[in-house]
């Protein structure tokens, strides 16, 4: 048997050198190039942030009985919080809640959100309709709500999250 020659003696190693075999499966599957054609539409939700005060909220369906149900929720929660409303004040809060709820339901959709908060003997009633698109002008609604003796009221549309807000601030004293 002949002994292998060293490189110094003129022996060349096998050329090209042996390479290890490729892995059986890739570590990470290849990423798709561009759009794959399948996309899921995600509609962002309109949120309300009420901080540093008592608050409650309800999700209500779009049904004919929803305005009355919303008013019962508001009056019941205010009574639970210890507010003793006379008949006139309770009727005014009920009418305001019904007006705001009806307006939110006219935007369409399957549900609305009712938010209630109190601070310094005032109550904030806020309705979110969660519907994208252009909001109808609510000037007539604001005139009606203002006529019910609220401290302040307004409407706005959140263009980033989509949805319409209607709110009223009412005084709970006298």
**For the segment 11-67, what is each residue's pLDDT rounded down to a tens digit?**
666 666 677 777 777 667 667 776 555 555 555 555 556 667 788 999 999 899 999
The reported pLDDT for the residue numbered 109 is 77
Is the pLDDT at 169 greater than 70? The verdict is: yes
**Which pLDDT tens digit goes with each residue over 84-112?**
889 999 999 999 999 999 988 888 878 89
**Which pLDDT tens digit goes with each residue over 109-168?**
788 999 999 988 899 999 988 776 655 566 788 888 888 888 998 888 766 656 788 899
The reported pLDDT for the residue numbered 148 is 83
The reported pLDDT for the residue numbered 74 is 95
Is the pLDDT at 5 greater than 90? The verdict is: no
Is the pLDDT at 6 greater than 60? The verdict is: no
The reported pLDDT for the residue numbered 67 is 94
For the chain, the residue count is 174
């Amino acid at each position: 048997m002949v002994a292998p020659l060293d490189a110094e003696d003129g022996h060349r190693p096998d050329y090209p050198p042996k390479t290890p075999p490729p892995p059986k499966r890739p570590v990470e599957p290849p990423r798709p190039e561009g759009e794959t054609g399948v996309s899921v539409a995600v509609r962002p939700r309109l949120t309300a942030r009420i901080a540093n005060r008592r608050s409650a909220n309800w999700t209500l369906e779009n049904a004919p009985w929803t305005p009355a149900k919303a008013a019962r929720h508001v009056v019941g929660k205010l009574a639970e919080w210890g507010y003793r409303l006379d008949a006139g004040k309770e009727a005014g809060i009920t009418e305001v809640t019904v007006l705001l709820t009806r307006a939110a339901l006219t935007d369409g959709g399957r549900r609305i959100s009712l938010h209630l908060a109190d601070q310094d003997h005032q109550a904030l009633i806020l309705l979110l309709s969660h519907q994208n698109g252009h909001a109808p002008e609510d000037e007539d609604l604001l005139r009606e709500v203002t006529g019910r003796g609220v401290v302040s009221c307004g409407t706005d549309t959140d263009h980033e999250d989509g949805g319409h807000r209607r709110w009223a601030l009412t005084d709970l004293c006298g």
